[in-house]
Structure 1
Amino acid sequence: MSDQTAASDSEVKSRKWWEPVLGIFHRAENWAIAVALGLMMFLPLAEIVLRQFETGITGNAAVQQHLVLFVAMVGGVIAARESRLLSLSTFTAYLKSGYAAAAKVISNSVAAFVTAALCAGSYAYIFGEYSERTMELFPGFPVWWAKLILPFGFLVLTLRLVWQAGDRWWLRLIPVFVAAGLFWFGLYEFDEVEGFVWPLLILVLVATVLGAPIFVTLGGAAIVLFWGWDYQYENAPRVVTVNLYDLVKSPMLITLPLFTLAGYLLAQGQSSQRLIRLINALFGRVRGGPAIVTVLVCTFFTVFTGASGVTILALGGLLMPVLTAAGYDDRRSIGLLTGAGSLGVLFPPCLPLILYSVVASSARVSISLEQIFLGGLLPGMLLLLLTIGYGVIRQPKHVPVAGEAAFNFDSWVRDLGKAAWGAMGEILLPVVALFALFSGYATPVEAAAVSALYALILYVVDAKWIRKVSILKELPGVMAECGLLVGGVLLILGVAMGFTNYLVTAMVPDQLVEWAQANIESPLVFLLLLNLFLIVVGCLMDIFSAIIVIVPLIVPLGAAFGIDPVHLGIIFLANLQLGYITPPIGMNLFLASYRFEKPMSMVIRAALPVLVVFVVGVLAITYWPTLTTWLPNLVLGE
Structure 2
Amino acid sequence: MSEEIGSNDPEVNSRKWWDPVLAVFNRLENWSIAIALGAMMLLPLLEIVMRQFDSGISGNSAIQQHLVLFVAMVGGVIAAREARLLSLSTFTAYLKSGYAAAAKNISSTVAVFVSASLFAGSWAYIFGEFADREGELFPGFPLWWAKLILPFGFFMLTLRLIWQSGDRWWLRLIPIVVSAGLFYFGFYEFEEVSGFVWPLLIVVLIATVLGAPIFVTLAGAALVLFWGWGGYWPEEVGPILALNLYDLVKSPMLVTLPLFTLAGYLLAQGQSSQRLIRLINALFGRVRGGPAIVTVLVCTFFTVFTGASGVTILALGGLLMPVLLAAGYGDRRSIGLLTGAGSLGVLFPPCLPLILYSVVASTSRVSISLEQIFLGGLLPGTLLLVLTIGYGILREPKKAASPDGAGLDLGVWAKELGKAAWGATGEMLLPVVALFALFSGYATPVEAAAVSAFYAMILYIVDAKVVRKVYMLKELPGVMAECGLLVGGVLLILGVAMGFTNYLVTEMIPDQLVTWATENIESPLVFLLLLNLFLIVVGCLMDIFSAIIVIVPLIVPLGAAFGIDPVHLGIIFLANLQLGYITPPIGMNLFLASYRFEKPMSMVIRAALPMLVVFVVGVLLITYWPALTTWLPGVVLGQ
Report the TM range for the smaller structure's normalisation: over 0.9
Q: Distance in 2 between matches of 1:554 and 1:505?
A: 17
Letter in 2 for 1:381: T
- Alignment partner, residue 271 of structure 1: 272
User: Is the partner of 1:20 in helix, strand or coil?
Assistant: helix
Distance 1:332 1:92 in 2: 31
**TM-aligned CA distance change 1:407 to 1:73, over 3 Å:** same
- Mapped contact 1:308–1:341 kept (Cα < 8 A): yes
Structure 1 residue 192 displacement after superposition:
0.7
Alpha carbons of structure 1 residues 326 and 20: separation in structure 2 relative to 1, 3 Å: same
Rounded to whole Å, the distance in 1 between the matches of 2:28 and 2:289 is 49
Tell me what 2:211 maps to. 211
2:102 paired residue number:
102
Q: Is the 8 A contact 1:226 1:502 kept in 2?
A: yes
- Give the secondary-structure state (helix, strand or coil) at the position aligned to 2:16: coil
The residue aligned with 1:31 is 31
Report the equivalent of 2:44: 44
The Cα RMSD (Å) is: 1.5
Percentage of matched positions with identical amino acids: 82
Tell me the distance in 2 between the aligned counterparts of 1:370 and 1:335: 33
**In the alignment, what sits opposite 1:150?**
150
8 Å contact kept, 2:286–2:402 = no
Residue 225 of structure 1 is matched in structure 2 by 225
Match of 2:65 in 1: 65
1:366 is paired with a residue whose SS is coil
Aligned ranges 1:213-292 → 2 under 5 Å = 213-234=213-234, 235-292=236-293
1:463 Cα offset (Å)? 3.7
1:165 deviates by 1.1
> Counterpart in 1 of 2:16?
16
* Kept in 1: contact 2:271–2:465 (CA 8 A): no
Matched, 1:78 2:81: no
- For 2:118, the equivalent position in structure 1 comes to 118
Contact map agreement 2:360 2:553 (CA 8 A) in 1: yes
Cα-to-partner distance string for 1:78-115 (whole Å, 9 max, x where unaligned): 00000000000000000001110110010000000000
Structure 1 residue 133: Cα displacement:
1.1
Structure 2 residue aligned with 1:418: 419
TM-fit CA distance, 1:470: 1.3
2:187 equivalent in structure 1: 187
Instruction: Look up the match of 1:455.
Output: 456
The total of aligned residue pairs comes to 636
Quickly say closer, same or farther: Cα 1:400–1:258, change in 2 above 3 A. closer
* Structure 2 counterpart SS, 1:55: coil
The alignment status of 1:522 with 2:523, answered yes or no, reads yes
Q: Deviations over 1:163-187 (max 9, x none)?
A: 1111111111111111111111111
TM-superposed CA distance for 1:539, in Å, is: 0.5
1:503/1:401 Cα in 2 relative to 1: closer, same or farther (>3 Å)? closer
Normalised by the length of structure 2, the TM-score is: 0.98
- Residue 347 of structure 2 corresponds to residue 346 of structure 1: yes
Determine the C-alpha separation between the residues in 2 that align with 1:299 and 1:216.
Answer: 32
One-letter amino acid of the structure 1 residue matched with residue 347 of structure 2: L
566-575 or 158-167, larger mean C-alpha shift: 158-167
User: Displacement, 1:466?
Assistant: 3.7
Match of 1:470?
Answer: 471
> Runs of 5+ in structure 2 lacking a partner?
none
Per-residue CA shift, 1:385-439, capped at 9, x if unaligned? 0000001111101255897222111211111111011000001000000000000
- Change in 2 beyond 3 A, CA 1:284/1:325: same
How much does 1:14 deviate?
4.8
Secondary structure in 2 matching 1:362: coil
Q: Output the CA distance in 2 between the equivalents of 1:636 and 1:507.
A: 34
Structure 1 unaligned blocks of 5 or more: none
Question: 1:315-337 CA distances to partner (integer Å, 9 max, x unpaired)?
Answer: 00000000000001111111100
Distance in 2 of aligned mates of 1:279 and 1:127: 58
TM-score w.r.t. the length of structure 1 is: 0.98
Q: Distance in 1 between matches of 2:172 and 2:268?
A: 37
* CA-CA distance at 1:7 after TM superposition: 4.9
For residues 9 and 602 of structure 1, what CA distance do their matches in structure 2 show?
42
Query: Deviation string for 1:512-559 (max 9, x for gaps)?
Result: 000000000000000000000000000010000000010000000000
1:132 aligned to 2:132?
yes
Cα deviation, 1:451-492, whole Å, max 9, x if unaligned, reads: 000000000110477446311010000000000000000000
Q: Report the 3-state secondary structure (helix = DSSP H, G, I; strand = E; otherwise coil) of the residue aligned with 1:137.
A: strand
8 Å CA contact 2:270–2:465 kept in 1: the answer is no
Deviations 1:186-212 (A, max 9, x none): 111111111111110110000000000
- Paired residues of 1:79 and 1:484 also in contact (CA < 8 A): yes
Quick one: distance in 2 between partners of 1:5 and 1:514?
71
Mapped to 2, the partners of 1:510 and 1:399 lie a distance apart of 58
Equivalent position of 1:298 in the other structure: 299
Matched ranges for 1:484-523 at <5 A: 484-523=485-524
| Aligned 8 A contact 1:263 1:304 in 2 | yes
Question: Does the 8 Å CA contact 1:162/1:172 hold for their aligned counterparts?
Answer: yes
User: Match of 1:510, as an amino acid?
Assistant: D
Specify the code of the residue in structure 1 equivalent to 2:105: V
Residue 421 of structure 1 aligns to a residue whose secondary structure is: helix
- The code of the aligned residue for 1:398 comes to K
Give, in angstroms, the shift of residue 12 of structure 1: 4.9
Alpha-carbon distance change, 143 to 188 in structure 1, aligned in 2, over 3 angstroms: same
Partner residue in 2 for 1:436: 437
The residue type equivalent to 2:72 in the other structure is A
Q: AA paired with 1:42?
A: L
- Alpha-carbon distance in 1 for matches of 2:544, 2:303: 13
Inter-partner Cα distance in structure 2 for 1:453 and 1:561: 42
Counterpart code for 1:420: A
Q: Which residue identity does 1:600 align to in structure 2? A: M
Structure 1 range deviating more: 233-242 or 143-152? 233-242
Give 1:308's aligned residue: 309
Q: Does 1:165 align with 2:165?
A: yes
Q: How far does residue 232 in structure 1 lie from its aligned partner after superposition?
A: 2.5
Q: 2:447 maps to which residue? A: 446
Counterpart-to-counterpart distance in 1, 2:143 and 2:119: 18
Paired residue type of 1:469: V
2:560 pairs with 1:559: yes
- Name the CA shift for 1:32/1:463 in 2 (closer, same or farther; >3 Å): farther
What are the superposed Cα offsets for residues 237-287 of structure 1, whole Å, 9 maximum, x if unpaired?
211111001000000000000000000001000000000000000000011
Alpha-carbon distance between aligned partners in 2 of 1:4 and 1:36, rounded to the nearest angstrom: 37
What is the CA deviation profile of residues 42-65 of structure 1, one whole-angstrom value per residue up to 9, with x for unaligned ones? 000000000000000000000000
Structure-1 residue corresponding to 2:483 = 482
Counterpart Cα distance in 1 of 2:296 and 2:260: 21
Residues 1:409 and 1:207: Cα distance change in structure 2 (over 3 Å): same
Whether the 8 Å contact between 1:193 and 1:231 is mirrored in structure 2 is no
Give every structure 1 segment of 4 or more consecutive aligned residues whose post-TM-superposition deviation is greater than 4 Å.
3-14, 399-403
Looking at structure 2, the residues matched to 491 and 357 of structure 1 have their Cα atoms a distance apart, in angstroms, of 17
In structure 1, what residue type is equivalent to 2:313?
I
CA contact (8 A) 2:438 2:444 kept: yes
CA distance, structure 1, for counterparts of residue 529 and residue 99 of structure 2: 41
